Amino acid sequence: MSVVVKVPAVKVEEKLFQNRYKVDSGRPHISIIDEDKCRNHCEAQACTVCCPAACWTAEANGQVTVISDGCLECGTCRIVCDEHRNVAWEYPRGGYGILFKFG
Amino acid sequence: MSEKFDVIVVGAGPSGNAAALRLAEAGLSVLQIERGESPGSKNVQGAILYSDALEKLIPDFRDDAPLERHVIEQRMWVLDDNSFVGSHYRSDSFNKEPYNRYTMIRAQFDKWFSERVQKAGALLICETTVSHLLLDGQRVIGVMTDRQGGEIYADAVILADGVNSLLAKKAGFHPELKPKNVALAVKEIHFMPQEMIEQRFGVKGDEGVVIEMVGKITKGMMGTGFLYTNRESIAIGVGCMLSDFKNQKITPYELLEQMKAHPSIQPMLEGGEMKEYTAHLIPEGGFNAIPNLYGDGWMIVGDAGMFVNAVHREGSNLAMTTGMHAADTLIELRSEGKEFTSANLKRYKARLDESFVMKDMKKYKNMPDVFHTNPQFFNDYPDLISQAARTMLTVDGVDKKTKEKEIRKSFRQRRSLFGLMGDAFKLWRAFE
List CB contacts (< 8 A) between A46 and chain B: 245-246, 249
**Inter-chain CB proximity A2 and B251 less than 8 Å:** no
Could you say which of A72, A79, A97 has the minimum Cβ distance to residue B179? A79
- Arithmetic mean of pLDDT, A17-38: 97
Q: Tell me if chain A has a CB within 8 Å of the CB of B273.
A: no
Confidence band of A8 (pLDDT split at 50, 70, 90): low
- Return the number of other C-beta atoms located less than 10 Å from residue B105's C-beta: 24
Closest among B297, B289, B291, B284 to B371, alpha carbons compared: B284
Q: How far is B175 from chain A (nearest CA, A)?
A: 11
**Inter-chain CB proximity A75 and B164 less than 8 Å:** yes
Q: Residue B371: its pLDDT value, please? A: 84
Contact between B383 and B79 under an 8 Å Cβ cutoff? The reply is no
**Inter-chain CB proximity A50 and B182 less than 8 Å:** no
DSSP code of residue B204: -
For B389, counting Cβ atoms within 10 Å of its Cβ (0-12 exposed, 13-18 middle, 19+ buried), the class is: middle
- Please, which residues 17-56 of chain A have a Cβ atom closer than 8 Å to chain B? 18-19, 22, 44, 46, 49-50, 52-54
With H, G, I as helix, E, B as strand and everything else as coil, classify residue B55.
helix
As a whole number of Å, the CA-based R_g of chain A is 15
Could you say which of B82, B110, B189 has the minimum Cβ distance to residue A3? B82
More confident residue, B418 or A64: A64
More confident residue, A36 or B381: A36
List CB contacts (< 8 A) between A15 and chain B: 188, 253, 274, 277
Question: Which residues make Cβ contacts (< 8 Å) with residue A25, sequence separation at least 6?
Answer: none
Q: Does any domain span residue A58?
A: yes
List CB contacts (< 8 A) between B382 and chain A: none
What number of residues does chain A have? 103
Q: How far is A86 from chain B (nearest CA, A)?
A: 13
Q: Tell me if chain B has a CB within 8 Å of the CB of A76.
A: yes
Closest among A55, A50, A57 to A97, alpha carbons compared: A55
b/e per residue B301-312 (b: at least 16 CB within 10 A): bbbbbbbbbbbe
Chunked into runs of 10 residues, chain B (432 residues) has average pLDDT values of: 86 98 98 98 97 97 98 95 93 94 98 98 98 97 94 98 97 96 98 98 97 95 96 98 97 98 98 98 96 98 97 94 98 98 98 97 89 84 88 92 92 85 79 71
List CB contacts (< 8 A) between A70 and chain B: none
b/e per residue A19-45 (b: at least 16 CB within 10 A): beeeeeeeebbbebeeeebbeeebeeb
**Inter-chain CB proximity B36 and A95 less than 8 Å:** yes
Nearest CA in chain B to A80: B179
User: pTM here?
Assistant: 0.94
**Inter-chain CB proximity A52 and B184 less than 8 Å:** yes
- Whether residue A1 has pLDDT greater than 60: no
- Please, which residues 366-395 of chain B have a Cβ atom closer than 8 Å to chain A? 383, 387
Q: Residue A4: its pLDDT value, please? A: 54
Q: Tell me if chain A has a CB within 8 Å of the CB of B303.
A: no
Q: Tell me if chain A has a CB within 8 Å of the CB of B245.
A: yes
Q: Does any domain span residue A2?
A: no
Among A1, A3, A4, A5, pick the best mutation site for testing chain B contact (most B Cβ within 10 A).
Answer: A5
User: What is the domain extent for residue A60?
Assistant: 23-98
Confidence band of A81 (pLDDT split at 50, 70, 90): very high
Contact between A77 and A68 under an 8 Å Cβ cutoff? The reply is no
Q: What is the pLDDT of residues A21-30, one digit of tens each?
A: 999 999 999 9
CATH of the domain at A27: 3.30.70.20
Q: Tell me if chain A has a CB within 8 Å of the CB of B270.
A: no
**Inter-chain CB proximity A76 and B164 less than 8 Å:** no
Q: Residue B380: its pLDDT value, please? A: 87
Number of domains in chain A: 1
**Inter-chain CB proximity A102 and B108 less than 8 Å:** yes
Could you say which of A2, A7, A52 has the minimum Cβ distance to residue B82? A2
Among B148, B246, B386, B414, pick the best mutation site for testing chain A contact (most A Cβ within 10 A).
Answer: B246
Could you say which of B166, B176, B261 has the minimum Cβ distance to residue A7? B261
Q: Residue B1: its pLDDT value, please? A: 46
Closest among B26, B23, B43, B25 to B34, alpha carbons compared: B43
Cα–Cα distance between A52 and A5 in angstroms, integer?
A: 21
**Which stretches of B58-149 are DSSP H helices?**
106-119
Tell me the ipTM for this assembly: 0.94
**Inter-chain CB proximity B254 and A7 less than 8 Å:** yes
**Inter-chain CB proximity B383 and A99 less than 8 Å:** no
Q: Does any domain span residue A70?
A: yes
Q: Tell me if chain A has a CB within 8 Å of the CB of B282.
A: no
Cα–Cα distance between B412 and B417 in angstroms, integer?
A: 5
Q: Tell me if chain A has a CB within 8 Å of the CB of B276.
A: yes
Could you say which of A10, A76, A90 has the minimum Cβ distance to residue B242? A76
